[in-house]
Amino acid sequence: MKKGCIGLIVLGVIAAALFGWVKTSYNGLVENQELVNKAWSNVESSYQRRADLIPNLVETVKGYAKHEQETLEGVIEARANATKVTIDGANMTPEDLQKYQAAQGDVSSALSRLIAVSESYPDLKANENFKDLQTQLEGTENRINKARADYNEAATEYNIKRRTFPTNIIAGLFNFDEKPNFKAEEGAEKAPKVDFGTSEGK
């Protein structure tokens, strides 16, 4: 009887220790996963802020550069296409993120071309509304870069944890999938940045 009781106690201790480890590992993965999801929400809100500024920018430019119809339509089309690419941050795949990044990259390129148009229109460059929009867009680009960097950091930390033994066992059992990262644009070491040319003398 004594040996049986000791055996049960040992099994109970082992079971409690195993449960504690599973609980700690699982909760740790959940916490990291939520940090990734929060970081992704910040990415989306930053890009949405830029999208919200584009219509006013287009209307302002249109008032001074009516002959730049192709450039204006390019921005509108790129924005429309980008808003169609939506991702479930909790279940995104590398392919999903690649499509999202490509669509937002098209918006950045279209904005660069639109802002470059202002160089040929001094009155447009001097317009207070245009200058204010430039400042807001520049700030938004900085937010986008920061949000992307924060997301990559959170995703990397989560991915390392889910691959590290023995937590990888729990990750496999409970389907904690890998989170994709933003990739640097070809020929660049950081997220695309729109050059708005707001410096004096430009």
Is residue 161 within 8 Å of 35, Cβ to Cβ? no
CA 36 to CA 51: how far, in whole Å? 23
Q: Report DSSP letters for 2-67, one per residue.
A: HHHHHHHHHHHHHHHHHHHHHHHHHHHHHHHHHHHHHHHHHHHHHHHHHHHHHHHHHHHHHHH-TT
Q: For residue range 99-148, list pLDDT tens digits in order.
A: 999 999 999 999 999 999 888 999 998 999 999 999 999 999 999 999 99
Q: How confident is the model at residue 5 (pLDDT cuts 50, 70, 90)?
A: confident
Q: For residue range 99-112, list pLDDT tens digits in order.
A: 999 999 999 999 99
The one-letter amino acid at 136: Q
The domain at 2-173 falls in which architecture?
Up-down Bundle (1.20)
Q: What is the mean pLDDT of the chain?
A: 88
pTM: 0.84
